[in-house]
Structure 1
Amino acid sequence: MPNRSAFFTSRKALFLLASLCCLLWGSAYPAIKNGYALFHIAANDIPTKLVFAGYRFAFAGLVLLVFSALSQKPLRLANRRVLGQITLLGLTQTSLQYLFFYLGLAYTTGVKSSIMNATGTFFSVLLAHFIYKNDRLSFNKLLGCAVGFVGVMVVNFRPGLLSFDFTLLGEGSVVMAAFVLSAASIYGKKLSQHIDSVVLTGYQLAIGGVALLLIGFATGGALEAFTLKSAALMVYLVALSSVAFSLWTILLKYNRVSMVTVFNFMVPVFGTGLSALFLDESFLEWKNGVALLLVCYGIWLVTKEEKPAPAAP
């Protein structure tokens, strides 16, 4: 479909759609914390947090699978081995990752979470160096990782700069979620070579979401405070996951990976701004501004396309 390809490869469409994806992912930070309040989920009520996350991703996966079916993409898996691989991906990329993410978000601010979750980019770069021969560390990647991690350190300093504000349950869980996502994404890349990306994402979200629901219910979790407002927020969380993942997959299909992933720096920007706006969290502190600039610059360094070496005369 030449017209479709021309549209998604145009600079205007790439900028608008990639920015929309990052805006949606950034909005998840304040939305989740508002969800805790609307559903009356206490900070230490981990089982109910798992149920909350499970509903979101199970339905998001279902939406993607329905979308794939309407697009006439084959949903039938080749064999049990493929089902096992997708199940492993779902249990790690969705279940385990969001177990850490939701836990961490309950014990730290949305501003800090949106910045610290960006460490996933650097974990991906480091892991890829040891797995792929054609994705070795370069000077820009090393510098980007260093700058980004300095940014993560800056955001954790207290105003007096004499102590380090870092807890395992809060910031530690967010960083762990970023690492799990990075490792699982590399495994998912391998699976996507023979499975449609949207179908793969739909199955892994659904499987991971159901696992979160089962664990949450089994440990005593229950999501009971359903109101029009809380239900609308749940619908939004489901929609943002489905739309963002679908659009991102389409952009990756029609554009070079480096051209798309460079927009990842906008996720912490949107996440920080929206958290400050909707959660009344403090953003206008020097450490948050400096940290955000460092993280964004680090991501830009890591993902920018390196110029090819000039040909020998």
Structure 2
Amino acid sequence: MINRTMGPAEWAMLILLSIVWGGSFFFYAIAVKELPTFTIVFLRVGLGSIGLWLAAWAMGLLPLRQPGLWRNFLIMGLINNAIPFSLIVWGQREVASGLAAILNATTPFFTVLAANMLTADEKLSWNRLLGAVIGLSGVAAMMGTDILGAQGGSPLSQLAIVAAAVSYAFASVFGRRFSTIPPLITAAGQTAGSSLILFPVMLAIDMPWRLASPSLDVWLAIIGLAVLCTSLAYILYFTILKRAGATNIVLVTFLVPVSAILLGIAVLGEALGLHHIVGMATIAVGLALIDGRLLTFLKPRRI
């Protein structure tokens, strides 16, 4: 049985995960200057997978050899990495990052629906659906008027990013089947699966043997993406998924924009506006509704 209401440990891991994934924008900004898309994505998941397997080996966790399990790792790598990463990159050729973040934040909507269809203990409820609506509106508010002037791109480009959100939603539900496997092994297996899928794509499209040798800054950015944003991030991801369920894990899509903005304020000296505060407060209400904690707090108590 999945714990639908997260405790302090799960919330702490979710916030840390949002910070790690929010910080990935800094690494991408450096890497895209010298490397093409699929090369960056493959290096991220490939090196991240190596790091995860080395950590598993150091902890005495051996690779599992069941054929059915490795089939599931390939499927998880496909729907949680290869497909959504590719769709987002393709969509963002025309769609500005602010709008892309809002479209990606529709993931909880689709997760609530997918979990309702495919699970027995994460059924649709009014508070979860309302919480998803409120959380998404908080993301839009936090983006402020910048999003109104953003480059919208073609409907097909926007649809690609929404399709990525759908893929993430089904991946969160599919990932529940790894609940009996250590999160470290699950993370390593998934990234190995996505690496196998992305490798021929990278060779066919990017032809990396024709690329110039990247600079040290780019290699440091790739290492950051692999170690922090992949190895560490997916250990946190599968730990939260195992303990708190599919609907709760995708709440990180609401928190990633918050983390990115707060990092910009702390690291780059950007200003904190009123719309940021309103947006973050609205997101907090949506999170509390989906988590169920707000209902518990408002429930009349017997004296």
**Shorter-chain TM-score above 0.5:** yes
1:94 aligns with 2:81: yes
SS in 2 for 1:202: helix
Q: 1:279 to 1:119 in 2, by over 3 A?
A: farther
Rounded Cα–Cα distance in structure 1 between residues aligned with 2:278 and 2:301:
40
Amino acid at match of 2:53: L
Equivalent residues of 1:29, 1:110 under 8 A apart: no
Rounded Cα–Cα distance in structure 2 between residues aligned with 1:149 and 1:98:
21
The structural deviation recorded for 1:303 is 2.2
Equivalent residues of 1:156, 1:166 under 8 A apart: no
Rounded Cα–Cα distance in structure 2 between residues aligned with 1:100 and 1:294:
28
Q: Deviations over 1:203-241 (max 9, x none)?
A: 111221232231021124435351111101000101112
The one of 186, 197, 203 equivalent to 1:217 is 203
1:28 aligns with 2:15: no
1:142 aligns with 2:147: no
Rounded Cα–Cα distance in structure 1 between residues aligned with 2:96 and 2:149:
20
Structure-to-structure mapping, 1:1-313, within 5 angstroms: 11=8, 17-37=13-33, 39=34, 41=35, 48-78=36-66, 80-151=67-138, 165=152, 167-168=154-155, 171-190=158-177, 192-222=178-208, 223-240=211-228, 241-250=230-239, 261=249, 264=252, 265-274=254-263, 284=273, 286=275, 293-305=281-293, 306-307=295-296
Equivalent residues of 2:136, 2:283 under 8 A apart: yes
Q: Deviations over 1:7-36 (max 9, x none)?
A: xx995x666554332211111123223321
SS in 2 for 1:307: helix
* Structure 2: runs of 5+ lacking an equivalent: 1-5
The structural deviation recorded for 1:181 is 1.1
Rounded Cα–Cα distance in structure 2 between residues aligned with 1:263 and 1:100:
20
The structural deviation recorded for 1:56 is 0.5
Q: 1:32 to 1:15 in 2, by over 3 A?
A: same
Q: 1:164 to 1:239 in 2, by over 3 A?
A: closer
SS in 2 for 1:56: helix
* Structure 1: runs of 5+ lacking an equivalent: 1-8, 42-47
SS in 1 for 2:65: coil
Rounded Cα–Cα distance in structure 2 between residues aligned with 1:75 and 1:27:
30
Rounded Cα–Cα distance in structure 2 between residues aligned with 1:285 and 1:170:
31
The structural deviation recorded for 1:96 is 0.6
Of 269-278 and 52-61, more deviation after overlay is shown by 269-278
Rounded Cα–Cα distance in structure 1 between residues aligned with 2:139 and 2:157:
14
Identity of aligned residues (%): 21
RMSD over aligned CA atoms reads 4.0
Rounded Cα–Cα distance in structure 2 between residues aligned with 1:59 and 1:162:
37
Of 143-152 and 88-97, more deviation after overlay is shown by 143-152
Amino acid at match of 1:30: F
Of 65-74 and 26-35, more deviation after overlay is shown by 26-35
Count of paired positions: 291
Equivalent residues of 2:98, 2:143 under 8 A apart: no
Amino acid at match of 1:245: Y
Rounded Cα–Cα distance in structure 2 between residues aligned with 1:277 and 1:168:
35
Give TM-score, length-normalised by structure 2: 0.77
Rounded Cα–Cα distance in structure 2 between residues aligned with 1:101 and 1:275:
22
Rounded Cα–Cα distance in structure 1 between residues aligned with 2:150 and 2:251:
33
Q: 1:95 to 1:275 in 2, by over 3 A?
A: farther
SS in 2 for 1:224: coil
Amino acid at match of 1:72: G
The structural deviation recorded for 1:289 is 6.5
